[in-house]
């Protein structure tokens, strides 16, 4: 660790986040489960295979078009669990609330959490509430952790991508991140953008019913599609090629990204997944994703190659090539 | 909810905390597992019985005699899981760090977490790090969630206390809470007090090996022994009688409590348990608790009675009786 103090970018999901985990956490919490670094850990408990995941939500603003910190916290952990192919079952909720926070806002948030849990089909079974002094926290932070059951025969992991596999993205990029950014810092462009926060476990169930050749599932939250593809390329030691003309982006999001100098490839999503699927099953999996209400805009955005292992390359609209790096700077304020 | 804003006492573990959970959370997150309100939830996943628990740690100061926020966060969740009779196996860690926090302090905390996990025999298998803007959080908050395996035939719950049962307390009261309080707000009395933060799972394993008649296990953290006994009396619909002369308190803690006008019965512990045990097994269980390095000062502090259901009564040293209520005020600043 070269830096002597923690920077915002240590939490951004990019290079500094990875450095922090690799240099400071992995050697201390030394175990093979953690070091796989998926969206969730895969555990064997008494002969039952479980997915276990945790996430803290510190989004500002806490209310935004398309959702609030409450449903975001439920959907986010449901999705992390679903990305191992598991059926999410149970969630915990840890609230850290600033003294003076409005009880009516808390009610709204808790009710959103309840609705989101019912939609996903999970139960919130344990919780904890801490109240800190005024000024010691920014309104409310929510941690959710969750447990899912991994069906027999399912082994989905970031290291399983194989040359020839197709890469499916379940919808448009950057909606959540741009919505949050647009609400903050007095930007508030009058654009029809809203968060894509949504549970993806029912979509994953459809996909698993359609194919046993889904190799990798990831949800491109912090760091966006570009960062997650880099992680998959590194973990699987493969190259990834994506085609710019095939990347789905809502036009309002594209417009705001251009205004703000951001690349939608690095902007966070909260209701999208990336699937790496054997080529022979790719069209079938794509078609069931499109049957899901949250997968209408799904498409195949690229493929896995044996060339340039560990690297993601974009074929640009004008026919050139551009390397899509792991982002180093704080590309966006925190968005989850 | 009568109050329009959240008060510190909503997080104190006392009456307002209970009101918040009962009025706002339970109706929304409606399910029978949550409504049991134990230290952890008891789940059936694919035929395996699991304990699942979560806790956020927001203690100030983050370093204190006897530990720091890191080992506290590991021990606390290990203990919550152990209180269902489960063997704690896996933990998640969610860090919320304030921008500008010292990397060297973070290293110290992470190393303490690693040591505490090894001592307890659990693995930290999944995690999440968020960094918030300077001033948006007070240094560092840590959420830990955990999973344990409940052995066959073990059914330990707050509602299982029966008249005639004896109540064992595994050691002195109030050490953690008084230590934190003494460090804060410039008090710093030069007293030899230190936090009792410790993992209790090995002690629980000894107890379960010695008796199958352990009815209730709770760790008296926020709200202290007095609050937890009230919860047990309500959940089991029994009366509880404890004897003042038998209550273990370190003399320095007793002295500081007197100076500060606090009752050690309501001061938090982080390495103690209360066990409600069938009378015929009580002495045997007590003797194995005393064999554990964290149970040297264990004793029987009272018994369960059929009189005054839902109420905890203290027999005072001078031969009188005093009702030990669920605390209503913020008896202590947050301590966990």
State the complex-level ipTM: 0.94
CB-based contacts of B31, cutoff 8 Å, min separation 6: A123, A124, A125
Same domain, A123 and A172: no
Summary count for chain A: helices (H), strands (E): 8, 14
pLDDT bin (cut points 50, 70, 90) of residue B192 is confident
- Can you tell me which residue has the tokens 């002690």? B203
CB-based contacts of A15, cutoff 8 Å, min separation 6: A326, A327, A328
Q: Does B127 contact A31 at a Cβ distance shorter than 8 Å?
A: no
How many other CB atoms sit within 10 Å of the CB of residue A317? 10
Query: Residue A79: CA atoms inside 13 Å, Cβ hemisphere, count?
Result: 27
- Output the CA–CA distances (angstroms, integers) from residue B151 to A324, A331, B209, B221, in the order listed: 50, 48, 11, 25
Residues B229-255 have pLDDT tens digits of 999 999 999 999 999 999 999 999 999
Take residue A59 and report the two structure tokens written for it.
């989004």
CATH of the domain at B228: 3.90.650.10
Gap from B234 CA to chain A (nearest CA, Å): 19
Whole-number Å distance between alpha carbons of B198 and B62: 16
pLDDT at residue A106, rounded to an integer: 96
CA R_g for chain B:
19
Burial class (CB in 10 A: 0-12, 13-18, 19+), A308: middle
Of B20 and A278, more confident: A278
Domain that holds residue B236: 166-323
Size of interface A-B (CB pairs under 8 A): 277
Closest listed residue to residue A73, CA positions, set A166, A223, A197: A197
Mean pLDDT of A153-172: 96
- Strands in B73-223 per DSSP E: 87-98, 123-132, 140-149, 166-169, 214-218
Write out chain B residues lying below 8 Å of A74, CB-based. Answer: none
Gap from B46 CA to chain A (nearest CA, Å): 6
pLDDT at residue B333, rounded to an integer: 47
Gap from A70 CA to chain B (nearest CA, Å): 12
Give how many domains chain B has, as a whole number: 2
Distance of CA B148 to the CA centre of its chain: 17
Same domain, A209 and A136: no
Whole-number Å distance between alpha carbons of B326 and B230: 6
Closest listed residue to residue B29, CA positions, set A292, A120, A210: A120
Same domain, B311 and B181: yes
Does residue A333 have a pLDDT over 50? no
A60: helix, coil or strand?
A: coil
Whole-number Å distance between alpha carbons of B59 and B197: 13
Mean pLDDT of B150-175: 96
- A300 has which bridge partners? A168
Gap from B298 CA to chain A (nearest CA, Å): 28
pLDDT at residue B91, rounded to an integer: 97
Tell me how long chain B is: 336
Buried b (16+ CB within 10 A) or exposed e, B132-147: beeebbbbbbbbbbbb
Residue of A104, A130, A132, A219 to mutate for B, most B C-beta atoms under 10 A: A130
| Mean pLDDT value across chain B | 92
Whole-number Å distance between alpha carbons of B197 and B62: 13
Write out chain A residues lying below 8 Å of B28, CB-based. Answer: 110-111, 113-114
Q: Does B54 contact A114 at a Cβ distance shorter than 8 Å?
A: no
Q: Specify the range with the lowest mean pLDDT, choosing from A41-55, A106-120, B80-94.
A: A41-55
Residue B45 has its nearest CB partner, among A48, A55, A137, at A48
Q: Specify the range with the lowest mean pLDDT, choosing from A4-18, B71-85, B87-101, B121-135.
A: A4-18
Does residue A34 have a pLDDT over 90? no
Q: What are phi and psi of B31, to 5 degrees?
A: -160, 155
Last residue within a domain, chosen from A116, A149, A182: A149
DSSP code of residue A283? H
In a domain, B159, yes or no: no
In a domain, A16, yes or no: no
Take residue A83 and report the two structure tokens written for it.
């990305």
pLDDT bin (cut points 50, 70, 90) of residue A3 is low
Chain B residue nearest residue A105, CA to CA: B5
Same domain, B37 and B129: yes
In sequence order, what DSSP letters do the residues of B173-199 get, joined into one string?
A: SSHHHHHHHHHSTT-------------
In a domain, B100, yes or no: yes
Same domain, A145 and A232: no
Write out chain A residues lying below 8 Å of B33, CB-based. Answer: 90, 123, 125-126
| Mean pLDDT value across chain A | 92
Chain A residue nearest residue B74, CA to CA: A29
Q: Does B54 contact A149 at a Cβ distance shorter than 8 Å?
A: no
In a domain, B256, yes or no: yes
Gap from B201 CA to chain A (nearest CA, Å): 17
Mean pLDDT of A94-122: 96
Does residue A38 have a pLDDT over 90? no
Same domain, B206 and B144: no
pLDDT at residue A305, rounded to an integer: 98
Q: What's the pTM value of the predicted model, to 2 decimals? A: 0.94
Same domain, B245 and B296: yes
Of A326 and A185, more confident: A326
Residue A97 has its nearest CB partner, among B6, B43, B132, at B6
Asked if residues B195 and B294 have their Cβ atoms less than 8 Å apart, the reply is no
Write out chain A residues lying below 8 Å of B99, CB-based. Answer: 5-8
pLDDT at residue A1, rounded to an integer: 47
In sequence order, what DSSP letters do the residues of A141-152 get, joined into one string?
A: EEEEEEEEEPPT
Same domain, A279 and A196: yes
Residues A259-313 have pLDDT tens digits of 888 999 999 999 999 999 999 999 999 999 999 999 999 999 999 999 999 999 9
Write out chain A residues lying below 8 Å of B223, CB-based. Answer: none
Does residue B39 have a pLDDT over 90? no
Same domain, B127 and B188: no
């Amino acid at each position: 660790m070269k830096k002597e103090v923690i920077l915002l970018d240590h939490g951004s999901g990019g290079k500094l986040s990875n450095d922090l985990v690799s240099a400071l956490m992995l050697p201390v919490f030394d175990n093979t489960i953690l070091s796989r670094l998926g969206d969730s850990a895969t555990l064997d408990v008494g002969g039952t295979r479980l997915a276990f995941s945790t996430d803290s939500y510190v989004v500002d603003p806490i209310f935004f078009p398309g959702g609030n910190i409450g449903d975001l916290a439920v959907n986010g952990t449901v999705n992390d669990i679903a990305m191992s192919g598991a059926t999410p079952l149970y969630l915990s909720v840890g609230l850290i609330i600033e003294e003076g926070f409005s009880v009516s806002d808390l009610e709204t948030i808790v009710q959103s959490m309840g609705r989101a849990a019912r939609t996903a089909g999970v139960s919130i079974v344990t919780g904890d509430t801490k109240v800190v002094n005024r000024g010691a926290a920014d309104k409310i932070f929510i941690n959710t952790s969750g447990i899912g059951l991994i069906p027999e025969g399912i082994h989905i992991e970031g290291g399983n991508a194989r040359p020839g596999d197709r890469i499916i993205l379940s919808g448009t990029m950057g909606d959540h991140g741009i919505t949050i950014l647009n609400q903050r810092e007095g930007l508030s462009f009058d654009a029809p953008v809203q968060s894509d926060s949504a549970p993806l476990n029912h979509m994953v169930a459809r996909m698993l019913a359609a194919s046993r050749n889904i190799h990798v599932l990831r949800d491109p939250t912090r760091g966006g599609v570009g960062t997650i593809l880099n992680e998959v390329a590194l973990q699987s030691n493969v190259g990834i090629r994506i085609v710019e003309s095939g990347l789905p982006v809502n036009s309002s999001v594209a417009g705001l990204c251009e205004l703000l100098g951001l690349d939608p490839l690095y902007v966070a999503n909260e209701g999208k997944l990336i699937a790496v699927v054997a080529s022979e099953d790719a069209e079938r999996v794509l078609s069931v994703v499109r049957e899901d209400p949250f997968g209408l805009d799904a498409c195949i955005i690229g493929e896995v190659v044996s060339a340039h292992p560990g690297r993601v390359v974009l074929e640009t609209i004008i026919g050139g090539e551009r390397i899509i790096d792991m982002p180093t700077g704080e590309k966006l304020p925190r968005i989850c």
